[in-house]
């Protein structure tokens, strides 16, 4: 059985037709001042996309009869033979069953309806001049159906249903220009499995005789042009081939000569110093003046030169001793204290900044 479109209408559209007593008690619509129309809007259930180019047909099956302040419905002459009680359609199941019976009756009796094709927005409007030359619909109950829709509802039509025009909304107000929106289910896509024909029993597969081994080729019979790249006969060595690690026994590489390093530049000898005879130089004291002999030289009579800093200093700036660097120790505690103060201030500012960022994030959350 084909799946069909589920007619999704408002409760008023499906259950307007109540019992005769209740209908007579209802307030009749103001038909003199309100033109009526019926619009069918087809769309897909899955993605809500409109469905264009679908032929929708309506049949008027009952007229609205206004009596005083009330009204009721009466079958038209074309559908009077169906015997459907159009004033007692109180459930959706009854609506769909009566619609199916009336559609079958229309087909069996050649009753023609009014057709309109949905546009690119999935809408088919039945109004004055739509379709062309149509004088418009009159108050009553209409049977709505459609042609088959490729790709939806197993390629079938929407399920036929009955709708009254005009109708009431959920607040009990009359709606004269009514829109009915049956929705469609896309047809499932079935991919056929590829079929492989069985092999023909009349054609047996070729047989291979195990008694005939393949021909063997010995290395000595391999033609020269078919020698594989890795095959080299034991007695064959190309004349120009020398392995990378092969060095003839008579070959010895020339002895390497270390580079010649020039001697350092010569410096003039420092002036010699010898202390006066009988004068000893204590340990840790500065060298005696230039030109004197050492104590050892005074006792032995052989002068021994002292290589000391000349009286004018290395650069002739004066003073024979090295400068006393201890005089620069006083800035160390001052610089250390200043660095500690800067570090402490920066650390405190960093903590305050992190705290402010955390408070800002908490406020944002």
Task: Give the CATH number for residue 62.
Answer: 2.60.40.10
Q: Is 193 domain-assigned?
A: no
Give the pLDDT score at 258. Answer: 74
Q: Answer yes or no: are the C-beta atoms of 102 and 85 closer than 8 Å.
A: no
- The pairs formed by 131-136 with CB atoms below 8 angstroms and a separation of 24 or more are 136/35, 136/36, 136/37
Stretch among 229-238, 282-291, 334-343 having the lowest mean pLDDT = 282-291
Q: How many domains does the chain have?
A: 1
Residue 86 exposure: Cα atoms within 13 Å on the Cβ side: 27
Q: What is the mean pLDDT of the chain?
A: 74
Give the pLDDT score at 355. Answer: 86
Helix (H) or strand (E) segment spanning residue 56: strand 55-67
Give the pLDDT score at 169. Answer: 87
Statement: residue 115 has pLDDT above 90: yes
Q: Is 83 domain-assigned?
A: yes
Q: Is 93 domain-assigned?
A: yes
Q: Which pLDDT band holds residue 323 (cuts at 50, 70, 90)?
A: low
Q: Is 52 domain-assigned?
A: yes
Q: Please tell me which of 24-33, 179-188, 259-268 the model is most confident about, judged by mean pLDDT.
A: 179-188
Q: Is 201 domain-assigned?
A: no
Mean pLDDT of 267-288: 57
Give the pLDDT score at 8. Answer: 38
Q: Which pLDDT band holds residue 3 (cuts at 50, 70, 90)?
A: very low
d(CA 58, CA 102): 12
Between vectors from CA 145 to CA 44 and to CA 94, what angle results, nearest 5°? 100
pLDDT digits (tens, 9 = 90+) for 33-87: 889 999 999 988 888 889 999 999 999 999 999 888 888 999 999 999 999 999 9
Q: Which pLDDT band holds residue 17 (cuts at 50, 70, 90)?
A: very low
Q: Is 148 domain-assigned?
A: yes
d(CA 333, CA 346): 20
Statement: residue 237 has pLDDT above 80: no
Statement: residue 25 has pLDDT above 50: no
Q: Which pLDDT band holds residue 187 (cuts at 50, 70, 90)?
A: confident
The overall longest dimension of the chain from CA atoms, in Å, is 163
231-264: burial string, b at 16+ Cβ within 10 Å, e else: eeeeeeeeeeeeeeeeeeeeeeeeeeeeeeeeee
| Token pair 């391999």: residue | 222
Q: Is 40 domain-assigned?
A: yes
| Residue 43, domain extent | 11-184
Rg, C-alpha atoms of the chain: 59
pLDDT digits (tens, 9 = 90+) for 152-180: 877 788 889 999 999 988 888 899 999 99
Q: Answer yes or no: are the C-beta atoms of 123 and 40 closer than 8 Å.
A: yes
Indicate the DSSP class of residue 176: S
Q: Which pLDDT band holds residue 14 (cuts at 50, 70, 90)?
A: very low
pTM over 0.75: no
Give the pLDDT score at 100. Answer: 93
Q: Is 169 domain-assigned?
A: yes
């Amino acid at each position: 059985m084909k799946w069909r479109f589920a007619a999704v209408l408002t409760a008023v559209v499906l259950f307007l037709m109540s019992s005769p007593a209740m209908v007579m008690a209802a307030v009749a619509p103001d038909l003199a001042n309100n033109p009526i129309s019926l619009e069918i809007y087809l769309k897909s259930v899955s993605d809500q996309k409109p469905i264009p180019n679908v032929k929708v047909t309506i049949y008027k099956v009952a007229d609205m009869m206004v009596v005083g302040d009330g009204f009721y419905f009466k079958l038209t002459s074309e559908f009077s033979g169906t015997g459907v009680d159009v004033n007692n359609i109180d459930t959706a199941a009854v609506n769909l069953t009566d619609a199916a019976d009336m559609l079958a009756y229309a087909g069996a009796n050649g009753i023609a309806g009014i057709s309109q094709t949905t546009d690119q927005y999935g809408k088919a409007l039945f109004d004055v001049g739509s379709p062309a030359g149509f004088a418009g619909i009159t108050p009553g109950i209409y049977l709505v159906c459609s042609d088959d829709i490729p790709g939806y509802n197993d390629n079938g039509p929407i399920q036929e249903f009955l709708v009254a025009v005009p109708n009431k909304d959920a607040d009990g107000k009359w709606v004269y220009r009514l829109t009915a929106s049956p929705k469609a289910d896309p047809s499932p896509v079935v991919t056929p499995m590829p079929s492989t024909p069985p092999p023909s029993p009349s054609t047996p597969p070729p047989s291979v005789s195990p008694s005939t081994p393949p021909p063997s080729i010995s290395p000595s019979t391999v033609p020269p042009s078919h020698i594989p790249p890795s095959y080299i006969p034991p007695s064959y060595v190309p004349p120009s081939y020398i392995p990378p690690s092969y060095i003839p026994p008579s070959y010895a590489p020339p002895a390497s000569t270390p580079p010649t390093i020039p001697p350092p530049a010569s410096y003039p000898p420092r002036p010699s110093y010898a202390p006066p005879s009988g004068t000893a130089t204590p340990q840790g004291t500065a060298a005696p003046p230039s030109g004197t002999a050492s104590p050892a030289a005074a006792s032995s009579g052989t002068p021994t030169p002292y290589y000391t800093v000349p009286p004018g200093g290395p650069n002739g700036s004066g003073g024979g001793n090295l400068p006393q660097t201890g005089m620069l120790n006083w800035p160390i505690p001052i610089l250390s204290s200043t660095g500690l103060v800067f570090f402490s201030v920066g650390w405190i500012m960093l903590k305050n900044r992190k705290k402010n960022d955390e408070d800002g994030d908490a406020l944002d959350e």
